Structure 1
């Protein structure tokens, strides 16, 4: 009996010694195939444009391409869930944004737990949301918009990328601060919302990727949610300077991996992202669509997630907001 037990222990220990170097070798050779990124919005959205800006320099650093897979719906929950259920080997990532932290704050029981089930790789871009309106509304300033809304209660509609999204919560913050009523219309992404706003089918939206549409005149920018004038749109005033003092919020997007992804793999991915974000062309490309480059580090994104969730929970409680399942 003793001999059999000792043999089992030795065999088990030997198997462990064999498995450990194999795992180390796999990590050392990472990546040796394309890396899939689950994108929770339709093609052309602001977050996807940011990912495209870093994709080529990350390919050069990693030696493998990033392959985009689009899984819309559920305010990003579907894409994040798919990534979380994938093997934690670094070959499946997801592209979350503030929509995902706000959704977790709004629906803690139904939403995907981005903090508990994923680990940060790094933040790609930071954006001040823009308060934008349809040109058909024919208002040029925040003050004009507020006056119009008060004179026409309940007639203004505003877009978001879903119930409980950051666009939804920021718009509710604005309505409360301005003392106006607006009708919420959820969309599957910013691109679709902006298209309807350009066509006059929706009136108002807080958008993170509005710069190209504003510059071409398809939609009108009234203000930003940044504390100071946003570098990418310096002529657009902050809301805090247009009669709503203290109104500040910044959006973001980044990369996350399944929770059990090994540290060396996360470090490899983060280093590739951080390196890409230092390149002048990438920084220029991000600023062209209205984003400032992130640092591309896990710590930066982790702190953003914690801060977002705490702030959104406070807003929801103060406004007593309710969300459909």
Structure 2
């Protein structure tokens, strides 16, 4: 049975109390109750969302903005549930702060009616945006560009006709877990999708040096030291890949992670770097990953045009 309240209540930030809470959105409730509430009650979740999605495409701006608001409310419930699941999965001593940080990425919808414009696309809600990817909306002052909340990103990519199994709830959950800033925040708390080795093997030493020189307080000696470690890691990575292609040993394939660290430790010690164990080596490299995580999160939070410029110069 459809939980209608999910379509007119939204999890959003209460500025006066600085916390996220569920609140009723009058404009969202108004549309549902203006179209025979009993008919909504008989619909299943998929049919309900399909009806609202169709209403999002009608010519009347007021109706489509209200229908969109209903779906935005629903998305907030799905997004919060996904964040709470992530926090439970990545258990940390400060779960409250982690949850609040993650909420800020995906529960950033204020619940206001936004009279958006659509381009012609039968599969998706293709919202009209400006050159900085801001949503173009109509209000009393005419046309205005606003930063789209996460819910619009979900709606702009959701295709209800593509798969019956891919519900709006599941699609929202997928986008939450793929959201760059969500993963950057998890990274700052020490949770990564990629292993330390996989992560650093994709970083160019010159790219790291450029980032550290401009955005860190590391000494010149420390920056050179980090570059030296990263260069060795990438050399060992290439050496291991060649070794694995040639080797028929299943043991090498099973214990590849430990083997990589042991190979790197040998190379490090041959260059007279004072590291005596693989754990000490990992601890040094973790500091590099923490810096990159912090830098990328700051980069992600900068304006899109500025972010594109920085990425072009320093890499993503």
Higher strand fraction (1 or 2):
1
TM-score range, shorter chain: under 0.3
Q: Which has the higher contact order (CA 8 A, sep 6+)?
A: 1
Q: Which of the pair has more CA radius of gyration? A: 2
What TM-score does the superposition give when structure 2 sets the normalisation length? 0.23
